[in-house]
Structure 1
Amino acid sequence: MDQPAIMSPETRLVEALGDRSIVLVGIMGCGKSTVGRRLAQKLGLTFADADAEIERAANMTIAEIFATHGEPYFRSGEERVIARLLKKGPQVLATGGGAFMSEATRNEISAHAVSIWLKVDFDTVMSRVRKRANRPLLQNPDPEGTMRDLMKTRHPVYAKADATVYSRDVPHDVVMNQIIQALTAKVLSMAPETARTNDI
């Protein structure tokens, strides 16, 4: 009698996800896009970057949208783009730093995805964002003060994500594997609930 094939943790996770996406949230520079690409490759899913999709839809860079139309216009477009992307699951979706602050976006993510907060400390994130000059919210005389304010405001909201993984200066695969572990624990803990709902 043939032994049943042993399912890999990655296959098991993707099966349990069904058509839900994996959404990475967190402050700019926490590694959502970099780690997200690796995670998608590891799980055999497509990867989408919300900021890149917004730029494509507007035919402008994020910085140009901010400068020309202002932040409220950008946030409105961001909500629409993320809602559209979430209909294409399963996938790994990296969101911009402010996206999860929108209640409408959080509701869409809750309905169609499992969210992971990539939490990062101040010194680590500042060393990363200093390497790139394209962060509109940091184009001011006190980027450190701005970052501290953003983290203070946003962390309590990011904490509403389904799970939290710490983004540190370690190999990306280490963080990626921790995300897979956190996702597996979360998704499999949700499975019995779904099963009971379907039985009704």
Structure 2
Amino acid sequence: MNHRLGRHIVLIGMMGAGKTAIGSEIARRYGVNFTDSDAEIEAAAAMSISEIFERDGEEFFRRRETQILTRILAAPPSIVSTGGGAWMQPRNRDLIAEAGLSVWLNCDLETLWHRVRQRSTRPLLKTADPKGTLARLIDERYPVYQLADLNFPSRGGDSVEATATRLIEEIRAAYPDLLELK
């Protein structure tokens, strides 16, 4: 029995929310492609996101992000992970709404901080007070993230597998026609 998605499932949320890990696990279980939009941007630019931010700035990065999302969402339905700021752009929200189900992986500050504090690959956290910056980003972004089709509260201690199972169950309950069996 093969699973087929009726449309894209697009994971949104803050850096460290688990979009890539959970998205990869769900894609594996559904037997569909997984795409991380940040990884696609890096591949297209042949440089890291930090390097893009340093060389070309955030505005350039956001334009490239929209181009990449447009390409990803034109492909057959898959699981998509977006960068933390992607959902903040109205054009990206429109693109995602046209092609898929938006799922906010909603994490608290302490869980996010625990996951990202050791990583130097987060350009927006390269500040004198990275935890304070993360808290400010949460304040700015969470009201917009609430526009997502599904708000999925994270449980910091759960495994990727347990979280993926819980998310699949919530998607099936709220959107029973999204996952088709063939």
Same fold (TM over 0.5): yes
Structure 1 residue 132 displacement after superposition: 1.0
Q: Post-superposition, which runs of at least 4 consecutive aligned residues in structure 1 deviate over 4 A? A: none
Give a deviation string over 1:122-179, Cα, whole Å, max 9, x none: 1110010012111000001011111111001100111111111122221111110121
Is contact 2:96–2:102 with CA below 8 Å preserved after alignment?
Answer: yes
Is contact 1:109–1:115 with CA below 8 Å preserved after alignment?
Answer: yes
Alignment of structure 1 residues 47-196 onto 2, 5 Å:
47-167=34-154, 168-188=156-176
Give a deviation string over 1:76-111, Cα, whole Å, max 9, x none: 000110111001131100000000001001001000
**Gap regions ≥5 residues in structure 1:** 1-6, 192-200
Is contact 1:82–1:105 with CA below 8 Å preserved after alignment?
Answer: yes
Identity within the alignment, %: 40
Is contact 1:39–1:176 with CA below 8 Å preserved after alignment?
Answer: yes
Over the aligned positions, Cα root-mean-square deviation in angstroms equals 1.6
Between 167-176 and 112-121, report the one with greater CA deviation: 167-176
CA distance in 1, matches of 2:38, 2:65: 8
User: TM (normalized to structure 2)?
Assistant: 0.93
User: TM (normalized to structure 1)?
Assistant: 0.85
Bigger relative contact order (CA 8 A; separation at least 6) = 2
Between Structure 1 and Structure 2, the one with more helix by share is: 1
Whose radius of gyration is greater, 1 or 2? 1
CA distance in 2, matches of 1:154, 1:131: 22
Structure 1 residue 181 displacement after superposition: 1.5
